[in-house]
Amino acid sequence: GQQVMQIPQYQHVQEGEDFTTYCNSSTTLSNIQWYKQRPGGHPVFLIQLVKSGEVKKQKRLTFQFGEAKKNSSLHITATQTTDVGTYFCAGGRSSNTGKLIFGQGTTLQVKP
């Protein structure tokens, strides 16, 4: 079946350093979404990418969808303590269902 792999599993950075998490799907995706989950919380939607090669920015966050629509990345510039949490990518095979296959997540710790 479809698998979505995410690396690294954990990342510890000093506040102000950059952070990147990578996501790879075993199959071509219709779209990819990114979610953030704070400790003890539930996943919260960050963004959706649909087009091949698409790049979107949200303040210090940059999201990229690969040309083959099988991989994606999230880059955070100059991390802050408020960025702490687990970041999940979630791949959609079809826009008809909205069903998402989540990666294992990357847990980000930021040292002040």
**According to the binding rule CB under 8 A, does residue 27 interact with another protein?**
no
**According to the binding rule CB under 8 A, does residue 39 interact with another protein?**
no
**According to the binding rule CB under 8 A, does residue 24 interact with another protein?**
no
CB of 16 to another protein, least distance (A): 27
Task: Work out which of 7, 16, 18, 44 binds another protein, going by CB under 8 A.
Answer: 44
Q: How many helices (H) and strands (E) does the chain have?
A: 0, 11
Task: Work out which of 24, 62, 77, 104 binds another protein, going by CB under 8 A.
Answer: 104
Cα distance between residue 106 and residue 35, in whole Å? 11
Please identify, using beta-carbon distances, which residue of 14 and 96 lies nearer to another protein: 96
Cα distance between residue 96 and residue 39, in whole Å? 31
Cα distance between residue 6 and residue 24, in whole Å? 6
